[in-house]
Amino acid sequence: MGSKYAQGFGLGSVNPDLASERQTASFSVERLTTVLDGGAEHTRVRRAVVEAIERDPVFSRENQYFQTQNERYEAAVRKAVHLQKKMHEMGWREDGPEFIYIYRALAGDVAFLLHRVFMRSISVLGSDEQVAKWIPLATKHQLIGSYAQTELGHGTYLQGLETTAVFDTTTQEFILNTPKISAMKWWPGDMGRSATHTVVFAQLYVHGKCYGVHPFIVQIRSLRDHSLCPGITAGDIGPKMNFEHIDNGYLMLQNVRIPRENMLNKFCEVQPDGTYVRRGSQKINYFTMTTLRVSLLSDEVILPLMKACTIAIRYSAVRRQSKLNPGEEEAKILDYQTQQEKLLPQLAAAYAFHFINNYLHKLFDRGYKEIQERNFSSLPELHASSSGFKAMLSQYCTAGVEICLRACGGHGYSLLSGLPSLYTKILASCIYEGENTILLLQTARFLIKCFAAASAGQPVPQSVTYLAAVKPGKCPAKNKLDFLNPDIYVEAYQHTAIRLLSSTAAKLQDLIQSGVKKHEAWNQCTVQLVQAAKAHCHYITVKNFVETVEKLENKAGIQKIMKHLCDLYALHGIFSNAGLFLHDGYISGAQMDMITASYLDLLGVIRKDAVPLVDAFDFTDKSLNSALGSYDGNVYQRLYEWAQKSPTNQQVHPAYEKYLRPLLHNKLSKL
């Protein structure tokens, strides 16, 4: 049975096709929701936050699909300002249990997210004096901060930034400049129209010597009237695929002078005479960037896939098309094998990724504790994990959301389905916080090192100890049921991950030994290194899903249905990457046929619980904001009602008077 809570404001009774899907659930939806939330108390808090946010009309996203970029921006600013009041009113604190649910409930549709990054930068990189000066102002929103790192010509490769900050000993100021157009800051959120201050990353020069990239606090707009400060050119970078509500901006600096105290100087400082002093470790700073990548996975990557699955699966249980058998009524499209094959692997992946996200959070919590005890040994593993999983999950979830969109046919293409905006937004996650290919290559570099160490019998981090276990041989499965044994498929994933890594390591070595320069050899192996890094993450994800299922309570059918999903996730991965498993004969062609048979069988099994499995994600209708995905399944009524609200139906269009009237045969009203 679906939770009453998720029903929201329907258009009357639940569509009988959807209702019937819920009557046959093999497990308790409410209990599964609790498992996903990590306990009943979390579920309670989450629902309370969502309800409070959704009940407040200021936070409404009702007209979102009809708004211009200007309107979206204004609404987001209004929400950001209102949120402060709301939090105070509700007694929600930044360190309270409600906090993680607030942005989720707002679906990120709020301004000043970069203001938070601005504050975090100062907290982490600033001295005690700097923190004491800036954080109270920022907390009270007496200034609005941004974070200006990326330039028009420079993204991931930070050493290449071209903005300069030259120290002038005579005035004790830094002089900031944008020496050429490619050095213009480009993309920072909240900077196009809102921010009064920003942290600028620039190459520090003292007495003609370059000390590399450093962060500086720069005021860019007047606090009195919001006009641009002298020497500042700034504005909005214009329309994007999504994030219309965010004023991503550009910034040029022309001889902008800031006091010496505005360089963030916890870890390094320019003294009055120009002496450059570095102190402490910057490693913790590096860790902050690493954690950011992990912290965004849940809200920005996994939840969008869960939402897309909810919309597409509910719609597929309501939409009927063609006949499966002659003489019958038109069939639910979810009953077609091809539709199941599109949607159910995405559903299984959403669960797999939810669990791997829990794994990563545990890994990082442990790492954080070690680091606080000044033990930095886990940093490389944490960096490699955050890079690889961010890349793998964002890439898979983006593709998954697109599959869900397409699987809804023409109606999926309407913004009112909610799917286009999920897609255009999640797509950005493949690019921001490290472009995926570059991230996977960082993971690969770590794996190559660990592989060499493991091969030499040296100790390696826990997550890669399997690299020492190179076992040739063949998969022992004899029939299709054997492939529902997790030991069998986990072993296959492990074997393939090792094979890809070891063969690429060998190629790399061969190239270097044949005289190719090290960097060039690396470049010639990158396509295969990316494959190897993905295979590693894929293996860990499957293994973690299996371990999670083993630990689940064996009650209310939860463990059983999760085992099916785990099998589906694993076998789908083999089916769709068959070449990797067949390559060295570990899996034979005949075994691949068994895998295919088991995989297709599982589609039929999970199809029966597909709707309850998305109901368990517990999204409200308002959070889905989809005419296709509502709990009650009244898709056609809702599409029609929502379409009528479109601005395209709110005016007698001027095109008629201007262009059509002079043309039409208007002697008669009717032909």
Q: Annotated binding site, which residues?
A: 150, 189
| Strand pairing category for 164-168 and 197-206 | parallel
Minimum separation from the CB atom of position 249 to a copy of itself (A):
9
Task: Give ∠ CA 348-354-360 in degrees, rounded to 5.
Answer: 135
Specify the 3-state DSSP secondary structure of 67. Answer: coil
- Among 494, 505, 361, 402, smallest CA distance to 447 is for 505
Tokens of 209: 């010597």
By residue count, the chain amounts to 671
Q: Catalytic: 433?
A: yes
Minimum separation from the CB atom of position 443 to a copy of itself (A):
13
- The whole-angstrom separation of Cα 218 and Cα 145 is 10
Task: Give ∠ CA 389-443-573 in degrees, rounded to 5.
Answer: 50
Tokens of 610: 């597909």
444-466 in b/e form (b: 16+ CB < 10 A) is bbbbbebbebbeeeeebbebbeb
Question: Do residues 311 and 626 touch, judged by C-beta distance below 8 A?
Answer: yes
Task: Give ∠ CA 371-372-373 in degrees, rounded to 5.
Answer: 85
Catalytic residue among 151, 173, 433, 491: 433
Q: For a copy of itself, give the closer residue by CB, 358 or 424.
A: 424
- The whole-angstrom separation of Cα 100 and Cα 80 is 16
Minimum separation from the CB atom of position 247 to a copy of itself (A):
7
Q: For a copy of itself, give the closer residue by CB, 157 or 273.
A: 157
Q: For a copy of itself, give the closer residue by CB, 184 or 549.
A: 184
Q: For a copy of itself, give the closer residue by CB, 166 or 419.
A: 419
Q: For a copy of itself, give the closer residue by CB, 1 or 590.
A: 590
- The whole-angstrom separation of Cα 162 and Cα 154 is 8
Minimum separation from the CB atom of position 612 to a copy of itself (A):
23
Q: For a copy of itself, give the closer residue by CB, 2 or 345.
A: 345
* Maximum Cα interatomic distance, the chain, rounded to a whole number of Å: 93
Q: For a copy of itself, give the closer residue by CB, 277 or 527.
A: 527
- Among 507, 359, 571, 534, smallest CA distance to 440 is for 534
Tokens 């009943």 belong to 40
- The whole-angstrom separation of Cα 534 and Cα 528 is 10
Tokens 């499209």 belong to 333
- The whole-angstrom separation of Cα 498 and Cα 583 is 13
Task: Give ∠ CA 487-488-492 in degrees, rounded to 5.
Answer: 110
Minimum separation from the CB atom of position 550 to a copy of itself (A):
29
What Cα–Cα distance (Å) separates residue 433 from each residue in 156, 241, 289, 334, 526?
8, 17, 8, 36, 20
Tokens of 56: 């407040």
Specify the 3-state DSSP secondary structure of 325. Answer: coil
What Cα–Cα distance (Å) separates residue 13 from each residue in 110, 177, 623?
33, 63, 20
49-81 in b/e form (b: 16+ CB < 10 A) is bbebbbebeebbbeebbebebeebbebbbebbe
Q: For a copy of itself, give the closer residue by CB, 282 or 321.
A: 321
Q: For a copy of itself, give the closer residue by CB, 240 or 474.
A: 240
Q: For a copy of itself, give the closer residue by CB, 406 or 560.
A: 406
Question: Do residues 154 and 163 touch, judged by C-beta distance below 8 A?
Answer: no
Tokens of 630: 């509502």
Tokens of 615: 């109901």
Dihedral through CA 445, CA 446, CA 449, CA 451, nearest 10?
A: -110
Minimum separation from the CB atom of position 635 to a copy of itself (A):
9
- The whole-angstrom separation of Cα 170 and Cα 158 is 30
Q: Find all residues with CB under 8 Å of 671, minimum gap 6, and list them.
A: 665
Amino acid at 584: D
| Residue ranges of the binding site for FAD | 150, 189
Amino acid at 550: E
Enumerate the active-site residues.
433
